[in-house]
Amino acid sequence: MEDLFSLLWQLNRTPVTNQRELAQNLNISVGKVNSLLREAEEQGYLSGSKEGKQSRFEISASGRELLEQMLISRRRGKLRLMPTGRKVRTAVILAAGRRPDFEVPAALLPLGESTILETMIASLESCGIEKFFVIGGFCADKLKEKLSAKQNVTVLQNERYKWSGTMQALTLLEQELDGDFLLMKSDLVLERRGALALLEGDLPFRALLAAPSGLGDEAFVELDEDGDIFRISKDIHQINRIQGELVGMMRVPVEVFHMMLKYFADNDNPYLNFEYVLENIGRLYGFRGEIVDDLIWSKVETKESYQNLLNICYPRIVRKEKEMQEKLASDTMVEILGISPEEIVEISFAGGLTNTNYDVTLKNGRYILRLPGRMTESLIDRHVEKQNAQIASDMGLNCRLVYCNAETGVKLSEYIDRAETLNFRTAKLEENMKLVAGILHVLHDSDFPMQNRFDPFEEAERYESLLDGLNARMYKGYHQLKAQVMAIRQRLLRIGYEQKPCHNDLLAFNLVKNGEGRLYLIDWEYAGINDPMFDIASYFLENEFSPEDEELFFHYYLQNGQDVAVAREKILIFKISQDFLWSIWTVLKEAKGDNFGAYGPERFARCQRLCAQYWEAYGD
């Protein structure tokens, strides 16, 4: 059938010919040509007549029908980009264009407590995106200024944005992108489940679709029978069946990106936009239209659409995502405890720096549910945490642990009745110092079987190694300070580095009293064998103890015969190590998308001051 199709196809293009020319054009023998011609005539696909020394072949109606069927069959066949298991960690955001209604890029218009662009970056970070490229044009300097604190964001400038389309902008990333990425427009705001629909699943080449929005300038989409994009058009009259609208977000495999660049390199139209390049590539490779039902989304092109975003769309997104987060917490509780949803009375957000915590009230009790934060798997060994938290719970140091999953990081603890979480003021009250000293003595002097060590100097170097390949900016003077910190470590080894069970995270909000005045140590993520003076240094440092406060605490903690001078020197060393460690932790977290404001720089600066104090007090 394929040979017959090739014969009819050639005769459709060149009806006047001869057997020898046909054989050359089809790359087959003359005998094979004669055989095919007889078969085609016998089946009524064509007829032939003499025209001079040549022959004229006429394709019949049934012959044209056969050609049509074969062409349709071929059109249906597309290559598939095979699932690779690669995680998408990069997003490209196009922000070069100017909207006539606004004096700044639409991406920088206020939204909630932030801007449109920052809101979407935060949403994508919560979906696992770690690295961003923003391509600016109009007021690109304002984009750079606004995003300067985001270490995981690189702003590039398209100098030709006035005279080109979005494909020209993408050429700026030819040397930057080495993996799959999300591609989106900067005036877009949508529920995070829209991005998750593209990020999850096996198909690597997809575009996000929603029901036609009526927002104006829609790009309508028609799908084929396999769910792949068949046609994209802003002219509704060109679409046979409207099956969705392009939202403005695509998942692009790196192989397709290279095809896009090659296609554009052979193109003479600088105004070409990426959607039509992808549509063209989609004629060969399956380009799936990912339809998300009832998706809440909007784009900003005019003052009216911006007001719609502010007053209608974004409040709906906020409400819906809050409901979805609470539903996630609810579903997690149902799965963990094997209960029905009806047993859940109330769920409320309970804060968290590294993780997200929920206060969950059931008909028969109250709990704290922890859902792990982004990137915690590289910072914390959850298997070790589970073991230490469970033993601490059994020893009565920790609140009762109900559930802890070492694979997912999900943890459920019993709520402490009439809980009072200490803060940096109440942590300095004498009655609370006495409680803290007591619980630390129990921990430090126990036979707690911790299998891991927590060395702040080694941890700092591990965090530094995790920065490799990230767009991270270390603080000025980092290498000089590191040399000093590691020199001080040598002094610690000489005076004696004790090895005992320690909590290693004595923040005030990890110290909780119940209604009867009993103190608990919670959150054992960083627990491990260490010197007890590390815990004391953490307690002093995190709660801003004065020298007088420290002296009062020593009254309750230091035992007879303990060398106060050595204890004080080790505490200063560990204060230095903690400020150094947590400043690097901040750089690492911010390189992955978090924003801790002045927290990191302030700890780094204090580390420098404490180092100066140490050298002044103890010399070389």
Q: Tell me the pLDDT tens digit for each residue of 266-293.
A: 888 999 999 999 988 988 888 999 999 8
Residues 96 and 65 in one domain: no
Residues 60 and 102 in one domain: no
Tell which of 76, 111, 138 closes a domain: 76
Q: How far apart are CA 498 and CA 33, in angstroms?
A: 92
CATH of the domain at 17: 1.10.10.10
Residues 13 and 95 in one domain: no
Position 236 confidence tier, pLDDT thresholds 50, 70, 90? confident
CATH of the domain at 147: 3.90.550.10
Residues 70 and 169 in one domain: no
Q: How far apart are CA 217 and CA 219, in angstroms?
A: 7
> Is residue 475 within 8 Å of residue 586, measured between CB atoms?
no
pLDDT tens per residue, range 185-232 = 999 999 999 999 999 888 899 999 988 877 777 888 888 888 888 888
Residues 431 and 573 in one domain: yes
Residues 123 and 40 in one domain: no
CATH of the domain at 589: 3.90.1200.10
DSSP secondary structure letter of residue 311: I
Residues 190 and 229 in one domain: yes
Across 571-585, average pLDDT:
96
Domain that holds residue 35: 2-76
Residues 423 and 529 in one domain: yes
The tokens describing 282, both together, are 């989609």
Residue 260's region, left for phi above 0, alpha for psi from -120 to 50, else beta, is alpha
The tokens describing 543, both together, are 């709660």
Torsions phi, psi for 483 (to 5 deg): -60, -40
Residues 20 and 117 in one domain: no
Instruction: Kindly state whether residue 411 falls inside one of the protein's structural domains.
Output: no
Tell which of 281, 301, 321 closes a domain: 301
**Among the listed residues 77, 67, 60, 72, the one whose alpha carbon sits nearest the alpha carbon of residue 4:** 67
Across 369-377, average pLDDT:
72
Tell which of 244, 278, 301 closes a domain: 301
Q: How far is CA 184 from each of CA 120, 418, 587, rounded to the nearest angstrom?
A: 10, 48, 27
Residues 29 and 159 in one domain: no
Position 119 confidence tier, pLDDT thresholds 50, 70, 90? very high
Question: What angle (nearest 5°) sits at the alpha carbon of residue 84, between those of residues 79 and 87?
Answer: 125
Across 417-421, average pLDDT:
89
Q: How far apart are CA 269 and CA 276, in angstroms?
A: 12
What percentage of residues in the chain have a pLDDT greater than 90?
61
Radius of gyration of the chain (CA): 33
Domain count of the fold of the chain: 3
| pLDDT score of 558 more than 60 | yes
Residues 128 and 150 in one domain: yes
Instruction: Kindly state whether residue 179 falls inside one of the protein's structural domains.
Output: yes
Residues 23 and 165 in one domain: no
Instruction: Kindly state whether residue 342 falls inside one of the protein's structural domains.
Output: no
> Is residue 169 within 8 Å of residue 271, measured between CB atoms?
no
